[in-house]
């Protein structure tokens, strides 16, 4: 089929998206070239008033809700501020797929009028603007998931979670960009283009909920809702330095989403979860409790019955376990270091942390991949071929039509899954038989990598197979010292490990000193133009450093790319124990960050 079809659809979608941003909200002109870190451009623009800048920069959901309840701020003021900042974020990171700014402001006005008239709010989410991943159906808007054949076909009804959010008084104001087909780890598609990481444009924003991650990192959203079946909430949270929780699959309503698969086939394999990304750990509790209190099982029969208080808790003196590696990819030095620092901080604070040895853990990698491919990807290719749309380059080398699994093959996968589930129950007891409250491990075996260079999802997909709730917790920025650490001498575990080690190698023509100085040179050159003689030497380095199109070449590894990115850890709890997970994350966050953990 002619490629003109998908090109035409993409042009119309982009034109519509652009037209929905008010002209006085446009950054004119956009800086050329954009700096690596685009976040400092926000306060320099004239789009936001000083009050709007404060609203979007200085608060989380918890504090905004308190201000609405006390009448110190209106929902209209808050919603307008976040709509404006989302518009800025779109221009700088390409993070949006659908814009609902005008109806959102009108809804906020109606909620303010209702509160003034009745003296009652609808709940903790009353008047709070919330952004949603493109998968969530909102009546009257597309859920195209980055595929032309699904565009220009507005949803006829809301997803179950959307209805609950509206009943709780939330204001929905945008949907966010994703990876084509939801199967890539970098949010890139032919409809809207690539989502850029606002902290560092050379590295990935993650996928498939990368638009949510970039928007929240830009403070264009205070709470973003995504989905996760391999790491699609936790990975963008790590990439963008955010808090996230992927609950067990039966905890939040998932019904009513576009996932690009044949209806019902997702019930035969791994179960995806609705999840969230926030700027503070306490907002995770506020959101999860608000949904639990709304009786979500009445909207989606797949949701488990139970109150927030019934979702587990850690003991007064919790015992933590640490899983340092999955047996497939050895964590690179910065990842191993930040995990060590987290464990030692807990021990210094008086908490016991025991080493977890789970030899069966590495089996989950191949099992998860088998489940992901059980349908043969044929429906995906059918959707693409309707408009002549090609796969994005990252998927083009990984996705092929194949025969779907038959009944016996599918049964065998579930037998393997059940066997491993039983085996992994042992991780919740230490050698003395004591119960472990929560597990700490890497989110990935590498820091946030360059665009299109994420190396596998073994550390996140395992907890989808097990259906354990898991969260990302940001710890600290990558430092210059982290760039100097060498990978310890050890045997290469296989192809995945070999590719992971490539992300740690220094390029042959760039010294560690230059690596550590390059970001500083970039900043200096941005603000203070260099003398012409110095500029002639420095500019070629800076051009290569700031041009995202030059990333990903296997012979030009540059560790300085990791600067201005966050190092995170993953925290895990037993199945359906989201409150236990939150409490563990809050405790770890307080140990690491102190009082700052209670605010953005």
The per-residue pLDDT of the chain, averaged, comes to 91
Is 383 one of the annotated binding-site residues? no
Q: Is the pLDDT of residue 66 over 60?
A: yes
Q: Give the mean model confidence (pLDDT) for residues 334-355.
A: 98
Q: Is the pLDDT of residue 442 over 50?
A: yes
Q: Is the pLDDT of residue 35 over 80?
A: yes
* Run of H or E including 172: strand 171-176
Position 1 scores a pLDDT of 57
Q: How far apart are CA 27 and CA 45, in angstroms?
A: 7
| pLDDT, tens digit (0-9, with 9 covering 90-100), for 217-233 | 999 999 999 999 999 99
Q: Is 474 helix (H, G, I), strand (E, B) or coil?
A: strand
| pLDDT, tens digit (0-9, with 9 covering 90-100), for 318-339 | 999 999 999 999 999 999 999 9
In 3D space, the residue among 246, 209, 250 whose CA is nearest the CA of residue 226 turns out to be 209
| pLDDT, tens digit (0-9, with 9 covering 90-100), for 144-179 | 999 999 999 999 999 999 999 999 999 999 999 999
Catalytic sites, residue numbers: 133, 208, 232
In 3D space, the residue among 450, 452, 427 whose CA is nearest the CA of residue 438 turns out to be 427
Q: Is the pLDDT of residue 208 over 50?
A: yes
The angle, 0 to 180 degrees and rounded to 10, between the axes of the packed helices 61-69 and 75-93 is 150
| pLDDT, tens digit (0-9, with 9 covering 90-100), for 486-538 | 887 888 999 999 999 999 875 433 444 444 454 444 444 444 444 444 444 44
Beta-carbon contacts of residue 540 (< 8 Å; ≥ 6 apart) = none
Fold of domain 4-308: Amidase signature (AS) enzymes (3.90.1300)
Q: Which of 270-279, 305-314, 370-379, 556-565 shows the lowest mean pLDDT across its residues? A: 556-565
Q: Is the pLDDT of residue 548 over 80?
A: no
Q: Is the Cα torsion angle 489, 495, 500, 502 positive or negative in sign?
A: positive
Q: Is the pLDDT of residue 341 over 50?
A: yes
538 within 8 A of 405, measured Cβ to Cβ: no
Q: Is the pLDDT of residue 435 over 90?
A: yes
Long-range contacts of 515-521 (CB under 8 A, 24+ apart): 515/483, 515/558, 515/559, 515/560, 516/480, 516/483, 516/560, 518/542, 518/545, 518/560, 519/36, 519/545, 519/560, 519/563, 519/564
The pTM score is 0.92
Q: How far apart are CA 98 and CA 179, in angstroms?
A: 15
Question: Do β-strands 171-176 and 352-355 pair in parallel, antiparallel, or remain unpaired?
Answer: unpaired
Position 365 scores a pLDDT of 87
| pLDDT, tens digit (0-9, with 9 covering 90-100), for 131-142 | 999 999 999 999
Q: Which of 39-53, 100-114, 358-372, 420-434 shows the lowest mean pLDDT across its residues? A: 358-372
Q: Give the mean model confidence (pLDDT) for residues 118-145.
A: 98
* DSSP class per residue in 79-136: HHHHHHHHHHHHHHH--EEEE-HHHHHHHHHHHHHHHHHHS--SSTTTT-EEEEETTB
Is 70 one of the annotated binding-site residues? no
Is 291 one of the annotated binding-site residues? no
Residue 2 confidence class, pLDDT cut points 50, 70, 90: low
Position 595 scores a pLDDT of 64
Instruction: Look at the block and give the residue holding tokens 């979608």.
Output: 13
Q: Quick check: do 4-308 and 319-483+568-576 share a fold?
A: yes
Beta-carbon contacts of residue 423 (< 8 Å; ≥ 6 apart) = 360
Question: Do β-strands 243-246 and 273-278 pair in parallel, antiparallel, or remain unpaired?
Answer: antiparallel
Cis peptide before 510 (omega within 30 of 0): no
| pLDDT, tens digit (0-9, with 9 covering 90-100), for 382-414 | 999 999 999 999 999 999 999 999 999 999 999
In 3D space, the residue among 454, 512, 519 whose CA is nearest the CA of residue 36 turns out to be 519
What b/e sequence results for 518-553 when a residue is b if at least 16 CB atoms lie within 10 Å of its CB, and e otherwise? bbebbeebeeeeeeeeeeeebeebbebbbebeebbe
Q: Which of 46-55, 93-102, 258-267, 538-547 shows the lowest mean pLDDT across its residues? A: 538-547
* Run of H or E including 275: strand 273-278
Position 358 scores a pLDDT of 86
Instruction: From the options 3.90.1300.10, 1.20.1560.10, 3.40.50.360, 3.40.190.10, give the CATH code of 319-483+568-576.
Output: 3.90.1300.10
Is 418 one of the annotated binding-site residues? no
Domain ranges of the chain: 4-308, 319-483+568-576, 484-562
Q: Is the pLDDT of residue 297 over 90?
A: yes
Q: Is the pLDDT of residue 597 over 90?
A: no
Position 236 scores a pLDDT of 98
């Amino acid at each position: 089929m002619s490629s003109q079809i998908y090109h035409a659809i993409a042009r119309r979608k982009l034109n519509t998206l652009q037209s929905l941003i008010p002209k006085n909200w446009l950054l004119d002109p956009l800086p050329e070239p954009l700096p690596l870190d685009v976040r400092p451009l926000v306060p320099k623009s004239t789009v936001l008033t000083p009050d709007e800048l404060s609203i979007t920069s200085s608060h989380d959901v918890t504090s905004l809700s308190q201000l609405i309840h006390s009448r110190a701020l209106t929902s209209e003021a808050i919603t307008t501020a976040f709509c404006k900042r989302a518009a800025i974020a779109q221009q700088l990171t390409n993070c949006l797929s659908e814009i609902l700014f005008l109806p959102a402001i009108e809804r906020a006005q109606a909620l303010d009028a209702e509160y003034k008239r009745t003296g009652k709010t609808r709940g903790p989410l009353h008047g709070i603007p919330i952004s949603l991943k493109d998968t969530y159906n909102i009546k009257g808007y597309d859920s195209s998931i980055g595929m032309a054949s699904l565009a220009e076909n507005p949803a006829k009804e809301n997803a179950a979670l959307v209805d609950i959010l509206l009943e709780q008084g939330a204001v929905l104001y945008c949907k966010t960009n994703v990876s084509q087909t939801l199967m890539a780890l970098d949010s890139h598609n032919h409809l809207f283009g690539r989502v850029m990481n606002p902290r560092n444009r050379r590295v990935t924003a993650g996928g498939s909920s990368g638009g949510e991650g970039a928007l929240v990192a830009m403070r264009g959203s205070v709470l973003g809702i995504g989905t996760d079946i391999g790491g699609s909430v936790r990975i963008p949270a790590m990439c963008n330095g955010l808090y996230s929780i992927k609950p067990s699959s039966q905890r939040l309503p998932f019904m009513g989403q576009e996932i690009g698969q044949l209806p019902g086939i997702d019930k035969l394999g791994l179960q995806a979860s609705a999840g969230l990304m926030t700027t503070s750990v306490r907002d995770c509790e506020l959101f999860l409790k608000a949904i639990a209190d709304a009786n979500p099982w009445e909207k989606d029969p797949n949701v488990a019955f139970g109150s927030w208080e019934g979702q587990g808790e850690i003991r007064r003196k919790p015992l933590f376990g640490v899983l340092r590696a999955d047996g497939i990819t050895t964590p690179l030095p910065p990842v191993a270091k930040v995990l060590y620092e987290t464990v030692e901080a807990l021990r210094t604070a008086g908490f016991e942390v025991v080493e977890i040895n789970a030899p069966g853990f590495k089996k989950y990698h191949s099992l998860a991949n088998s489940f992901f491919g059980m349908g043969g990807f044929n429906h995906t290719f059918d959707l693409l071929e309707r408009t002549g749309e090609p796969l994005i380059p990252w998927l083009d080398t990984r996705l092929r039509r194949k025969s779907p699994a038959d009944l016996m093959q599918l049964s065998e996968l579930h037998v393997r899954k059940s066997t491993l589930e039983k085996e992994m129950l042992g991780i919740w007891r230490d050698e003395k038989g004591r119960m472990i409250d929560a597990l700490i491990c890497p989110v990935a075996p590498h820091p946030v990598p360059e665009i299109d260079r994420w190396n596998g999802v073994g550390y996140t997909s395992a907890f989808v197979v097990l259906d354990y709730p898991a969260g990302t917790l940001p710890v600290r920025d990558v430092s210059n010292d982290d760039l100097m650490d060498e990978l310890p001498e050890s045997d290469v575990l296989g192809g995945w490990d070999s590719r992971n080690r490539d992300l740690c190698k220094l390029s042959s023509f760039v010294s560690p000193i230059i690596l550590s100085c390059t970001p500083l040179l970039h900043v200096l050159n941005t603000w203070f133009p260099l003398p012409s003689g110095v500029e002639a030497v420095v500019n070629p380095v800076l051009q290569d450093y700031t041009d995202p199109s030059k990333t990903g070449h296997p012979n030009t590894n540059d560790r300085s790319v990791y600067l201005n990115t966050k190092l995170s850890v993953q925290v895990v709890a037993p199945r359906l124990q989201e409150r236990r997970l939150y409490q563990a994350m809050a405790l770890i966050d307080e140990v690491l960050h102190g009082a700052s953990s209670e605010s953005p």
